[in-house]
């Protein structure tokens, strides 16, 4: 399901002040998180779970499985028109061809930013997220504030992340589900002609692949 940007309503300029960076600093546990923590503690005390093993799993998803995988996908799409066309037509197969498959990445769709349109991904019901290409979801992605505001006021949400788009640029909001998850392909920064895929991948951030950020500029990394 997609949502087009809605026109701001009166008083929207208070949005930022009333909920200042809720998605960045929401460190409180939800009911589900509290239950998971309690269950983990209980299983550890009973010797049924090894905390070290859990740490390895978390570290794998955070640093190895993603979001480096997604950055590699984007970099290849920037340099290989045939792959970009394949990614647009069948993201699941194209991503799998690079060896990136697995949990919550079985059904993917890639949406491409352009001069006319910026894409933003949210899961309005829970926290569906493409682990295979982006790793573990950030806390703010699961926060009710982000899930609601991304649909109601996407331009305001982007402003909270420090992203200001031209007034004429459209914003499309994509609602991730258990059946389909999304990868945003940000626009390639200027000044990167001749760069290798590895160099380009360094410009791709997790937030740019969700749509809450843009790719880094060429001058922000060492080419």
Q: What residues act catalytically?
A: 123, 126-128
Question: Which backbone phi and psi does 71 adopt, to 5 degrees?
Answer: -60, -35
Q: Are 103 and 131 a contacting pair, CB within 8 Å?
A: yes
Instruction: Give the length of the chain.
Output: 223
| Separation CA 223–CA 214 (nearest Å) | 18
Q: What is the DSSP string of 92-110?
A: HHHHHTTT---TT-SSEEE
Q: At what angle do helices 68-79 and 81-89 cross, to 10 degrees?
A: 120
């Amino acid at each position: 399901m997609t949502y087009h940007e809605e026109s701001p309503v009166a008083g929207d300029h208070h949005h930022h002040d009333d909920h200042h960076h809720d998605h960045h600093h929401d460190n409180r546990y939800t009911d589900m998180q509290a239950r998971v923590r309690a269950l983990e503690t209980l299983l550890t005390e009973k010797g049924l779970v090894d905390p070290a093993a859990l740490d390895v799993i978390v570290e794998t998803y955070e640093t190895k499985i993603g979001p480096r995988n997604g950055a590699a996908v984007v970099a290849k799409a920037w340099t290989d028109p045939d792959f970009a066309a394949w990614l647009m037509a069948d993201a699941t197969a194209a991503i799998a061809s690079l060896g990136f498959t697995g949990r919550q990445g079985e059904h993917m769709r890639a949406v491409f930013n352009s001069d006319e349109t910026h894409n933003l991904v949210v899961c309005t019901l829970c926290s569906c997220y493409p682990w295979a290409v982006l790793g573990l979801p950030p806390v703010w992605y699961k926060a009710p504030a982000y899930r609601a505001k991304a649909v109601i006021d996407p331009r305001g949400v982007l402003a909270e992340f420090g992203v200001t788009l031209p007034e004429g640029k459209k914003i499309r909001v994509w609602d991730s589900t258990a059946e389909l998850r999304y990868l945003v392909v940000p626009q390639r920064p200027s000044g990167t002609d001749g760069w290798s895929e590895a160099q380009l991948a360094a410009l791709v951030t997790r937030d740019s692949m969700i749509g809450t950020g843009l790719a880094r500029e060429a001058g922000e990394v060492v080419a």
